């Protein structure tokens, strides 16, 4: 078993175009166990990264942590398995930069927003101005949660059903 430790800083994320992560300070520990036809890599990730707030789009710092396993298999045929990395016979080094970026990105929470009251007020006001279902109330962090379920609720409340949707709903009934 071989142990490698990496400190990933802003320079790493600056090299990546179109990344969810803008900045960060992440510590990665890789325990690599070599076997006859493969190497098993156990990654432990801890740190903080800066990404965009899902509500106001301003930068927000997020704690991340996770444990992941990737298998590096010595072979000459490609594979579709996401957790299996093929190491071709002519390769002498394994470049794990892309794997590290993926694992760090997967460690992000599904929804990243500022703590209550820290979102950009100007952006929240702009969201309120262009809101489709504008009520007398202003848009805030709690409304973000409600907006995710808006489609489901509107389907239940509507009495009129588009005939195209009605035909599709009929397909489900025919399958039973």
CA distances in angstroms from 92 to 43, 88, 95, listed in the order given: 21, 9, 10
**Residue 85 sits in the same domain as residue 137:** no
* 102/130 same-domain check: no
For every residue of 106-163, DSSP letters joined together read HTS-SS--PSTT-S-HHHHHHHHHT-TT--SSPP-HHHHHHHHTHHHHHHHH-----H
Is 116 within a domain?
no
For the chain, how many structural domains are there in total?
A: 2
115 in any annotated domain: no
36 and 83 share a domain?
yes
pTM of the entire predicted model: 0.66
- Give me the torsion for CA of 58, 61, 67, 68, rounded to 10°: 30
Does some domain include residue 111? Answer: no
pLDDT of 67-118, one tens digit each?
999 998 888 888 888 778 888 878 778 888 888 999 999 999 888 888 888 8
How many Cβ atoms are within 10 Å of 81's Cβ, its own excluded?
10
Is there a domain that residue 55 lies in?
yes
């Amino acid at each position: 078993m071989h142990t490698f430790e990496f400190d990933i800083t802003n320079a790493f994320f600056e090299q990546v175009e179109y990344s969810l992560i803008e900045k960060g300070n992440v510590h990665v520990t890789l325990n690599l166990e070599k076997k006859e036809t493969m190497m098993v890599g156990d990654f432990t990730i801890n740190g903080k990264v800066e990404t965009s707030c899902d509500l106001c789009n301003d930068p927000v710092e997020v704690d991340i942590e996770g444990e992941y396993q990737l298998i590096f298999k010595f072979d000459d045929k490609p594979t579709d398995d996401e957790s299996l990395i093929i190491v071709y016979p002519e390769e002498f080094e394994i470049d794990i930069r892309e794997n590290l970026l993926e694992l760090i990105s997967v460690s992000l929470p599904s929804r990243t927003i500022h703590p209550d009251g820290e979102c950009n007020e100007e952006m929240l006001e702009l969201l309120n101005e262009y809101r489709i279902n504008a009520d007398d109330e202003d848009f805030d962090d709690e409304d973000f949660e409600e907006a995710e379920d808006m489609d489901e609720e509107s389907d239940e409340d509507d009495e009129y059903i588009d005939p195209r949707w009605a035909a599709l709903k009929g397909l489900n009934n025919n399958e039973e």
